[in-house]
Structure 1
Amino acid sequence: MNDVKFVLQKLRRLMDMARDADDDFERAAAYAASMRVLDDLRAESQGRESESFERLRWSLAAILGYDVTNDYDNSQHFVWALGAFDVIERLFCRS
């Protein structure tokens, strides 16, 4: 990965797309892209903050309909996703 900050910006945009997706195609595209980017970032993190990666993965998947919501609405999952993203962003920006 050449530019982690660039990838983090793209992931943040994918999070917005997940929140705003209107149809199955948009949800599938946001899911596939965000999971791929998360996998790449997780590999780059060398095992640090693995819980934050898992929280972000679960919340995005739940928002997009690819995981259970545990009876929480999308807005709550989005708040959790933002919190996890913030931890991940700080991990890379302080490295």
Structure 2
Amino acid sequence: MNNPKQSVEKIEELLKAARETNSLFAHAAAFAAITALVDKLDRYFKEKAVDADENVERLRSHSAAMLGYDITNGHSIKQHYVWALDAISGLNDALSRLRN
């Protein structure tokens, strides 16, 4: 992975854009792109920062639930969005620690 920071930023952009529409196609496209990016981030963090693993899994789970590709466990789309953003924040923190 050339730039994990760019991948994290792109995931955040995709989640925001998907949140602003109810289009099944847009959600499917965002889910596919996010899944590919999260898989790359997962491999990157397993090599560089194993402690980020929980946030990778949280991002994977909450983004899938938000986009309709996993169960919501009774939580709102908005709540899953907030949890996904929290996971992104944790990944950004891990990236900052790696740069220092």
Alignment TM-score, normalising by the size of structure 1? 0.91
Is residue 57 of structure 1 aligned with residue 60 of structure 2? yes
Aligned to 2:39: 39
CA separation in 2, counterparts of 1:11 and 1:52?
13
Q: Distance in 2 between matches of 1:48 and 1:36?
A: 21
When structure 1 is superposed on structure 2, of 77-86 and 11-20 the one drifting more is 11-20
Matched, 1:70 2:76: no
The size of the alignment, in residue pairs, is 95
**Structure 1 CA distance, aligned partners of 2:5 and 2:17?**
19
Distance 1:5 1:55 in 2: 17
Percent identity reads 38
State the match for 2:83 in structure 1: 80
In structure 2, the gaps of 5 or more residues are none
Asked if structure 2 preserves the Cα contact closer than 8 Å seen for 1:18 and 1:31, the reply is no
Larger helix proportion, structure 1 or 2?
2
Structure 2 distance, partners of 1:55, 1:18, is 18
The letter of the residue matching 1:87 is G
Which consecutive unaligned segments of at least 5 residues does structure 1 have? Answer: none
The 4+ residue runs of structure 1 with deviation greater than 3 A are: none
Which residue in 2 is equivalent to 1:20? Answer: 20
- Paired residue secondary structure (1:70): coil
